[in-house]
Chain A
C-alpha cells in the first residue's frame, strides 16, 4: 500500500522539473513568496496608518470614559451621602424647632387662659361689690324714709293724745329727741 502511495505521489510530482521535483511540498515556490510580501506590505500599511490608530484610539478613549464615569459616580455618591446627612440634620433641626414652637404656643395659650380667667373673676367681684353698694344705699334710704314717717306719725299721734298744740320749738325738740332714740335703736 505504501509503495503504491509513493508511486502515486511521484507520478503527480514527476511532471514537474528541477528543484520543485526534488523538494516536493517543501519547495518554497517564488510564485507564493512575492505575493505574500505584497499582501503583507499592503495590510501592514493599512493597519499601521489607518485601522490600528482608530481601533486603539477607541479602546483608549473608552477606557478613559469608563474611568471618568466611575470616578464621577464615586464623586456623585459621596456628594449624595453628604447631602443626605445634611438633610437629615436639617430635618432634625426643623423637628426640634417645631416642637419648640408648639411648646411656646402652649405656654402663650395657658398664660392667656389664666389672664382671661383672672379678669373674669375680677369683673365678677366688681359686679358683686357694686350690687352690694347699691343694696346698702337703698337700704339706708329706706331706713331714713321709715324714720321720717315714724316721727311724723308719732308726733301726730302724740298731739292727738295729749290734745294740746305744741309750739314750733317744742315740736322740733321732740322730733330730735325721738329721732335720736330711734337712731339709737337702729344702731343696735
Chain B
C-alpha cells in the first residue's frame, strides 16, 4: 500500500508543479508587452544567453555536421548514392539535430546560468529586497531572462544549422570528394520551406520550454546553497526530457 501511496503522492506533486509552471508562464506572457518596453534589460539577457553561447554552439554545430557527413557518406556509398549526402545532412540538421542539440546545449550553457543566478539572488535575499522596494522581481529579474532566452534560441538554432551544413560540406565535398554541384542541387531540390518552418517552429517551442524551466526552477529554488544546486540540476534534466518529448510530438504533428 505504501508504494501506491508514494506513487500517488509523487503524481500529485507532479501535477502541482505542472500547474504552477503553467500559471508562471501565463504571468510571464501577461507581463511580456510591458517587459519588452524595457528593452535594454532584454538586450542584456540576449547577450548573456545568446551571444555568450555562440562559441560552444558554433563548435558543436561544426562537428555535428562533420560527423553526420562522415556517417552519411559511409552509409550512402554502399548504395552508390553519395550525391544524396547534401540532402541527408541538411534535412537531418534542419529538422532534428539543429533544434534538439541546440536546446540541450542551451540547457547546459544558458539554462543552468539562469537558474543558478535567479536561485542565488533568492538565496541572498536580493529578490526580497526588491519586493521591499516595490520592484516586482518577476518583471525586473525573471521576465527579461525569459524573453532573452526565447529570442536567443531560434537564432542559435539557425546558426547551429548553418554551421552544421558547412561542416557537412567540408567533410563531404572537400574531404570525401562528393561532387559539389550535386551536393547543393540535391539539397535545394529536396529541402522545402515546410522543413525550414518545422525547424524554426521547433526552435521557438524549445526556446520557450527551456527558458521557462530555467527561470521557474531558479525562482522556486530553496534559498540555500543545496537548493540552488538542485535547481540547476533539475533545469538540465527537465529541459532535456521535455525537449525530447516535445520534439516527438511536434514531429508527429507536422509530418
Does chain A bind chain B?
Answer: no
